[in-house]
Copies of this chain bind each other. A is one copy, B any other.
Amino acid sequence: MPKNTFFNLPEDKREKILDSAIDEFAKYSYHKASINRIVKKSGIAKGSFYQYFEDKKDLYKYIIDISTQKKLKYLTYVMNNLNRLNFFQIVRELYLAGIKFAKDNPKLSEIANNFVRDTDSNLKDEILESGIKKSNNLFKQLLTQGIDNGDIDPNIDIDLVAYVITSLSISISEYFIKEVKGEDEMEIMAFVDKMLYIIENGIKNKNKGN
């Protein structure tokens, strides 16, 4: 966590520092990102930076935190309706929220994705305790429920499917940002529905009349 001095700063200055840092971490990986560039961009002295933050990791942690908090806000609807929605509806809402978050916060989203994909497990472990495994477990739970309800094919491998759905959630928001760039809500929903159609039904032609 940043020091008190950082939170005592006037808002515009605090924002400028954060924006510069977010720019930097969106452009460069954690290790390549440079405090020197960040302080130059923010127009503060190097020494001041260390009045605000313990070290580089402290700042990075804080930004990952901001990203997580913001994304969670997009997910509240899903979280509040876990009982009322079935598995496919939940996945649909999660994907939708994920894309909306990425569209509204492209840099934060990129930082978070890079973080998840990063292979430096030491850094990861220090920053969050098995956060990904948590979301994986959520899917596993939902899948088990779905099988009990009869919604989901009992033949599937739950662990595998949970893993697939988790990694797809990153892929599809990246794909959407890169390739679709849809503007309105309808387009996003149409895209998510296409994705979900595949997860639900697969891609085999069931009407094949050979």
**A residues engaging B (CB < 8 A)?**
29, 31-32, 88, 110, 114, 117, 119-120, 147, 150-157, 159-161, 163-164, 167-168, 171-172, 175, 179, 191, 194-195, 197-206, 208-210
Interface contact B204-A198, CB-CB below 8 Å = no
Interface contact B156-A203, CB-CB below 8 Å = yes
Smallest Cβ-Cβ distance to A206: which chain B residue: B153
User: Quick one: copies of this chain in the complex?
Assistant: 2
Distance in angstroms between the alpha carbons of A210 and B197 in the assembled complex: 20
Interface contact B201-A204, CB-CB below 8 Å = yes
- From B117, B201, B203, B208, contact of A117 by CB (8 A): B117
Smallest Cβ-Cβ distance to A31: which chain B residue: B32
**Which A-B residue pairs are the 3 nearest by beta carbons?**
A202-B202, A201-B202, A200-B204
Known: A110-B119, A160-B195, A171-B164. A152 touches B31 (CB 8 A): no
Chain B residues with CB below 8 A from A204, complex form: 88, 151-153, 200-201
Chain B residues with CB below 8 A from A29, complex form: 29, 31, 119-120
A150-B205, A163-B179 given; name 13 further pairs at CB < 8 Å.
A29-B119, A29-B120, A150-B208, A150-B210, A156-B203, A160-B175, A160-B191, A160-B195, A161-B203, A163-B171, A164-B171, A199-B203, A201-B201
Distance in angstroms between the alpha carbons of A200 and B199 in the assembled complex: 9
Chain B residues with CB below 8 A from A114, complex form: 119
Distance in angstroms between the alpha carbons of A210 and B147 in the assembled complex: 13
Chain B residues with CB below 8 A from A154, complex form: 205
Distance in angstroms between the alpha carbons of A133 and B140 in the assembled complex: 32
